Amino acid sequence: LAYARYVTSRKPSASDRTRETGELALVRQLRERIGLGIQRSADIRLGIGDDCALLRPGDGEELAVTTDLSIANRHFRLDWHPPESVGHRTLARGLSDLAAMGARPLAAFLSLGLPRELAAPRRRGTPSWMSRFLDGLLALAAVHSTPLAGGDLAESPLAVADILLIGAVPRGRALLRSGARPGDLVYVTGSVGGAAAALERLKGLSAPLKGRPKSLAAHLHPQPRVAQGLWLQRRGLASAAIDLSDGLSTDLGHICEESEVAAEIDETALPVHSGASLEQALHGGEDYELLFAARPSARMPRSIAGVPITKMGRILKRRAGQPAVTITSAQGRRPLRPQGWEHFS
């Protein structure tokens, strides 16, 4: 909590206020903006202002913890992504992991490494890249009542944002990847392929983006399914769950791997996002929908908290030498190899 240490001991002087850069001023800017969220949260006993934050989960709860690293030119591009979108996506990745466990978000911690020119305003009176990044991150944090309770800030040759999310879930009740059994049905929230389709459109733009075009929202502002994950966890309806970050073919493979089962999906039942191709729906990542299995006897609603739920496949017994995931269509049945996102490949 490096930025906590700078801000606790003294009141800002007039000269601090007029200096636009420098760690002290940046730290104050951060703290002023995130303090409100912390005051409203009952789960945080102590936020920024000491060496550590103190969290107080409820009785009978266990903590779900996840980190996600976002690196310039790898997860976002300064020339493609508006800073608000980078902030939003940074937090969305972590919230989506909590959603996949059915955990209630308690707090987020952000470590930012930024080149000097991104931390300071380009011209006096205009917001810096960092400030706009925080606009995006804090707007999504407010939607999901997730206070930013600490972090770190450093000058870096490359823009890097690492988010740590802590959630709470009733002991022993988290949604896992490992609970799917043969005979279970496979469901997905929302639609798939929209983020990959929007990214293709974003890459094709000749001029920098203006405003918040709706046609790119699935990529620039994906909505983590926190309410849906919580709903499933509270009712004990899902036998296994994962969030779609790497792509359907890869993520369903993860459920099969951890549950030691196979899965079959029905191509005609797939909720392909409008404007997306089948390829993008099967292998494009970053949709941040929930993919889950449930017993055939589970009564699944058509929608959860306003988001449609689609049954699109089933869990099968795993057989040696057979592909874990297959897809059926009018043409018959074919293996669905994982072709989603993979680092170091």
φ/ψ of 218, rounded to 5, equals -60, -30
Q: Round to whole Å and give the CA distance between 72 and 75.
A: 6
Are the CB atoms for 89 and 133 separated by under 8 Å? no
Nearer to Mg ion (CB atom), residue 267 or residue 289: 289
Query: The tokens of 328 are what?
Result: 């059926």
Q: Round to whole Å and give the CA distance between 92 and 224.
A: 6
Q: Round to whole Å and give the CA distance between 27 and 22.
A: 9
For residue 329, the 8-state DSSP code is E
| C-alpha triplet 221, 227, 228: angle, nearest 5° | 95
Nearer to Mg ion (CB atom), residue 97 or residue 162: 97
Closest distance between Mg ion and the C-beta of residue 330, in Å?
A: 32
Closest distance between Mg ion and the C-beta of residue 278, in Å?
A: 23
Q: Crossing angle for the helix pair 129-143 and 83-101, nearest 10 degrees? A: 30
Closest distance between Mg ion and the C-beta of residue 84, in Å?
A: 23
Nearer to Mg ion (CB atom), residue 132 or residue 144: 144
Query: The tokens of 83 are what?
Result: 């800073």
Nearer to Mg ion (CB atom), residue 243 or residue 286: 243
Closest distance between Mg ion and the C-beta of residue 243, in Å?
A: 4
Closest distance between Mg ion and the C-beta of residue 242, in Å?
A: 6
Nearer to Mg ion (CB atom), residue 239 or residue 245: 245
Give the residues lining the site for Mg ion (CB under 5 A): 97, 243, 245
